[in-house]
């Protein structure tokens, strides 16, 4: 995976922006600069007021703790590999799409119940 030509010191991010149904992106691994471009494109396509849910992971999230709860950070190469691995995984994306479907069903059910209650008054 080190074949990715990522400049040393570049912050890495994994992102998901979802307010419409679409196939999974080819990759969810970006630099912050690339992410900014993706977000700008979404704004052009959907408008600045479009709803969004986003999850961003950077080098600050690639930490573990030792037995005394001290944070352990890792070198750039490890950080790159971890974030690329996360970004290349469909698992997170599939879980979020499943959650979106569940939330849609709950909102529709609540809306229908609210409308039915309003109609019976």
Q: What is the pLDDT of residues 44-67, one digit of tens each?
A: 999 999 999 888 899 999 999 999
Phi, psi of 84 (to 5 degrees): -65, -45
Percent of the chain with pLDDT over 70: 71
CA distances from 87 to 9, 91, 113 (A): 18, 10, 39
- Mean of pLDDT values over 56-79: 95
pTM > 0.75: yes or no: no
46 C-beta neighbours (distance < 10 Å), count: 14
What does the alpha-carbon distance between residue 13 and residue 87 come to, in Å, rounded to a whole number?
Answer: 8
- pLDDT of 16 > 80? The answer is no
- Mean of pLDDT values over 103-107: 93
């Amino acid at each position: 995976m080190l074949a990715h030509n990522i400049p040393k010191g570049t912050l890495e991010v994994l992102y998901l922006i979802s307010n419409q149904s679409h196939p999974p992106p080819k990759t969810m691994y970006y630099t912050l600069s690339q992410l900014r471009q993706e977000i700008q494109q979404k704004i052009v396509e959907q408008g600045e007021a479009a709803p969004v849910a986003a999850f961003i992971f950077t080098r600050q999230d690639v930490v573990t703790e030792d037995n005394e709860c001290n944070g352990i950070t890792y070198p750039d190469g490890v950080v790159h590999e971890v974030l690329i691995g996360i970004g290349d995984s469909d698992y997170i994306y599939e879980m979020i799409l499943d959650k979106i479907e569940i939330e849609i069903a709950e909102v529709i059910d609540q809306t229908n119940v609210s409308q039915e209650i309003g109609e019976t008054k």
